[in-house]
Chains A and B, each alone.
Chain A
Amino acid sequence: MAPLLQARGITKRFGGLTAVSDVSFEIEKGSIVGLIGPNGAGKTTFFNMITGLYTPSDGDMIFDGKRINGTKPSEVTKLGIGRTFQNIRLFAHMTALENVLVGQHCRMHTSLLGTLFRTASMRAEEKAARQKAFELLEYVGLGRNSADEMAKNLPYGDQRRLEVARALATDPKLLLLDEPTAGMNPKETDALTELIYRVRDERDLTVLLIEHDMKVVMGISERVTVLDRGIKISEGLPREVQTDPKVVEAYLGTGHAAKGKGGGAPVFDKA
């Protein structure tokens, strides 16, 4: 089976700085893949090239058999890539329900005239959209009570969940999660991990997540790709990557790895 997302020799240069250099990488349909690396490794740049915010300087980004280099973010979303943001970017002063409705925007078809004359098809579409929005809110674990709450008034963990619901509302094939557990306590993290699995299993999605919290990524991902200073340094099953000396070095520095204090793995477990 062809991979859902394929990066071929992706390079991104900002002036003289090469943020991502010749990264090739594949995501199988139905998998949960983690993209990790220390700060400044180029994870977010890579992410932004998938979502269309940046155009790769070199190489091809292929999604579902289509080259998506330079496609506008809204078009990428329409093709079936939904995302969340590292620093929650909900529409803070819209209700939870409206946030999810906005997510469905690109799947709705009512034209301007349909809106102005409130045609039967517009009303039907609007009703279905609301129905679906309620279902999604419930699916991610936000009750009906939260639906009319302004997004900014929701508790932090719920805001993360709402972002997932909003991304799911775009009917994605691939879900991109940018540090989904940042700032969460262990309980919230566990709940979100469970949600991610549920989304993959029940909704037939593929998930790519960026993390720099090693423990989270090892817990969730089936495969892990490690970037360091824009270069892919390791790839494989979490356990393999964890013990890869290059990864240990990237995270902890050469000296530490050379001393080999307790090997790689235990160090990460502490993180």
Chain B
Amino acid sequence: MPNTKRYLITGGVGFAVGTFFLWNYPNLGLGSALLGGLVIAALCLLYSAPLADMIKAGLIAGMFGAVMTIVYGTHKPGVAIIAGMVSGLGAGLLAFQRSPQANPKKAAILGAEAGAIAGAWTGLSLFVMAFVIAPAAGIDAGDFAEHLSETVILADVLGLGSDILILLFAFAFSTLSGAILGAASCAARSLPLRPNIPLLAVIALPVLLIPLIDRAGNLLLLDALIPIYIFILLALGLNIVVGYAGLLDLGYAAFFAIGAYTTAMLSSPHLGINLSFWLVIWVAAAVAAIAGLTLGAPTLPLRGDYLAIVTLGFGEIVPILFRSLGGGPPGGTLTLRFFGMPIGIEQVDLTGGNKGINPISPPHLPLIGDFDPSNKIPWYYLLILIMGLAIFFINRLRDSRQGRAWMAMREDELAADAMGINVVRTKLLAFSMGAMFSGFGGAFYGAFIGAIFPSSFDFSVSIILLCMVILGGLGNMTGVIVGGLLIQGADKMFIPKGAELFRRIAETKARAEGSSTVGVSALQDLTQQRLLLFGIVLVVMMLVRPEGLLPNERRKAELHPDDDTINSNSVAAEAEADPSLAA
């Protein structure tokens, strides 16, 4: 097989990442697993085309299952089954999407093959987890013993070793669900449904089930997931401006800040206005949208670099403004000179200055009461609802005359103008729609955190959002979500947890050797290298795959100009036209 090397490298790297980086104590386990699967999917995509579709699909989903098993699974057969099923479903789906089959039997076989590969990886990971990593990190085997007993009973019944049993479970269920999904995809395709419905179901189910799993396993996963989702919501809004309309916005965090501050001012004791969150979130979105128009208006004649610089300025001004609106000393006045006449203005503390606004009232629902900061489940579902609606409406925008106008403007502003597209209106619409979604995000953020500070909205937020959009794939919502999960997951989960893991391994080793463990904790400084890591990732991305992990097909074509026939032809056309005159 000509691609064996590639296959091994991808699998090996993915496996190494999956095992070493993501294994940790069960807290945050599933989240790491989910995101870990995506890291690996990303790696597999980097080594794109020549791999056999089925193997690739199996690898991607298998890694997902493997990581899930390693991190969350321990030795429970039930977990092996679930992990196997999830990876099998994923593998079957991916395999089918990459090479659709018309014949249900063939589709089932394809799904089964992909599921088998996935299941093998999933099962294999158990051994690594149990016999290599857990001992190395000095992780207490107490949990294992407990789970093991269940397995041992089953294993005795079947007369098999417990690890073999788990491997078999993972393998069998993965293969089976792969086959089912292959056949189901094939059947779904022949129905008059939108073809992405099975995909939607496979994605939506785990997303909706996470809080329940989280509660059952006491994983405290939602604390990390909710901020990640908020950032993804913001990135989806930014994608309208940058991805669809092609307007480079470096100050997008400003709209996030405006949404959050609007919520804070209208829904807290700070100004004595305490409106319901359900009203304020709309106000926040509207204010952000108007701010989008306000920023958009002066930048209309600007393009590219110049636009980026103005938006950058706007992004800097807004947090400073909120800082300054915090008033001076109590009872102080601000003196302005107007044609030499001093005018005193009583300084009102609108925003709490550097101290921010604290507390902000949480949403209230009849049955649930006030959303409780310690119970994240209602928050999670509220956010999922907001995101679902955002994705739904952004999709509609994209497939409409407005969306086409954005893309036409991105492709060629002059030609779009000449085709009757009002460029001014189209740009402003992009800015305000993009800002609106971050207004929703800001409102939720303010209520969720319960307090806001100007420092939460600085330049780095805008940049990280832009990185999410670019890494995932400009102009493609799935890509943006994947990019967001990767970058935010790395930032909030993998890197801190990876650092923790390294530290534990090193400490265990040091203890075993009887030496001091003091210097070892310096390894935790890995967390502080995260910006360096992002930088490296982005540079590599831009060199290897500038269109992002899951590019919009159009963008992909744009960024690989080798086969760009329009330009070369028009040059040829001019060259031909001239001699005809000279003759």
- Chain A interfacial positions (CB closer than 8 Å to B): 38-39, 51, 53, 72-74, 77-78, 83, 85, 87-94, 98, 101-108, 110, 112, 115-116, 118, 122, 126, 129, 150-153, 156, 159, 166-167, 170, 179, 182-183, 212-213, 251, 270-271
CA–CA, A167 and B419, complex, Å: 7
Chain B residues within an 8 Å CB radius of A116 = 393, 396-397
Chain B residues within an 8 Å CB radius of A87 = 570, 573-574
B576 within 8 A of A: yes
Please provide the chain B residues from 350 to 407 with a CB less than 8 Å away from any CB of chain A in the complex. 393, 396-397, 400-402, 404-405, 407
Contact present for A94 and B407 (CB under 8 Å): yes
CA–CA, A130 and B133, complex, Å: 58
Given the interface pairs A74-B423, A91-B407, A94-B407, the reply to whether A152 lies near B564 with Cβ below 8 Å is: yes
Given the interface pairs A115-B400, A271-B580, the reply to whether A77 lies near B557 with Cβ below 8 Å is: no
Chain B residues within an 8 Å CB radius of A150 = 553-554, 557
B421 within 8 A of A: yes
Give the number of residue pairs across the A-B interface with Cβ within 8 Å: 145
Contact present for B407 and A103 (CB under 8 Å): no
Closest chain A residue to B394 by CB distance? A116
Chain B residues within an 8 Å CB radius of A167 = 419
Please provide the chain B residues from 145 to 189 with a CB less than 8 Å away from any CB of chain A in the complex. none
Contact present for B418 and A83 (CB under 8 Å): yes
Name the prevailing secondary structure of the B interface residues: helix
Please provide the chain B residues from 241 to 264 with a CB less than 8 Å away from any CB of chain A in the complex. none
Chain B residues within an 8 Å CB radius of A101 = 401, 404
Contact present for B573 and A182 (CB under 8 Å): yes
Contact present for B577 and A115 (CB under 8 Å): no
Contact present for A102 and B417 (CB under 8 Å): no
Tell me which of B415, B422, B557, B581 has the highest count of chain A C-beta atoms within 10 A of its own C-beta. B415
Identify 14 new A-B residue pairs, CB closer than 8 A, beyond the known A90-B412, A179-B577.
Answer: A73-B418, A77-B419, A85-B415, A102-B419, A103-B419, A104-B401, A105-B405, A112-B402, A152-B557, A159-B566, A159-B569, A166-B419, A182-B574, A183-B577
Closest chain B residue to A163 by CB distance? B415
- Chain B interfacial positions (CB closer than 8 Å to A): 393, 396-397, 400-402, 404-405, 407-408, 411-412, 414-423, 429, 553-555, 557-558, 564-566, 569-570, 572-574, 576-578, 580-581, 583
Contact partner, A74, options B412, B422, B572, B581, Cβ 8 Å: B422
Give the 3 A-B CB pairs with smallest separation, nearest first. Answer: A183-B573, A106-B420, A93-B554
Contact present for A72 and B405 (CB under 8 Å): no
Contact partner, B421, options A105, A212, A271, Cβ 8 Å: A105
- 19 A-B interface contacts by CB (under 8 A): A39-B578, A39-B581, A72-B417, A83-B418, A88-B566, A89-B414, A93-B411, A101-B401, A102-B408, A105-B404, A108-B401, A115-B400, A116-B397, A150-B557, A156-B569, A159-B569, A182-B577, A212-B577, A212-B580
CA–CA, A73 and B423, complex, Å: 10
Closest chain B residue to A103 by CB distance? B419
Given the interface pairs A39-B581, A152-B566, the reply to whether A115 lies near B401 with Cβ below 8 Å is: yes
Given the interface pairs A74-B421, A93-B554, A122-B400, the reply to whether A183 lies near B569 with Cβ below 8 Å is: yes
Contact present for A89 and B421 (CB under 8 Å): no
Contact present for A103 and B420 (CB under 8 Å): yes
Contact partner, A152, options B397, B405, B417, B565, Cβ 8 Å: B565
Chain A residues within an 8 Å CB radius of B415 = 85, 89-91
CA–CA, A166 and B557, complex, Å: 21
Closest chain A residue to B570 by CB distance? A87
Closest chain A residue to B575 by CB distance? A183
Contact present for A170 and B420 (CB under 8 Å): yes
In the assembled complex, how far is the CB of residue B245 from the closest CB belonging to chain A, in whole angstroms?
A: 13
CA–CA, A179 and B570, complex, Å: 12
Chain A residues within an 8 Å CB radius of B404 = 94, 98, 101-102, 105
In the assembled complex, how far is the CB of residue B230 from the closest CB belonging to chain A, in whole angstroms?
A: 22
CA–CA, A112 and B397, complex, Å: 8
Closest chain A residue to B559 by CB distance? A93
In the assembled complex, how far is the CB of residue A156 from the closest CB belonging to chain B, in whole angstroms?
A: 5
Contact present for B408 and A94 (CB under 8 Å): yes
CA–CA, A72 and B578, complex, Å: 31
Contact present for A91 and B421 (CB under 8 Å): no
Contact present for A110 and B418 (CB under 8 Å): no
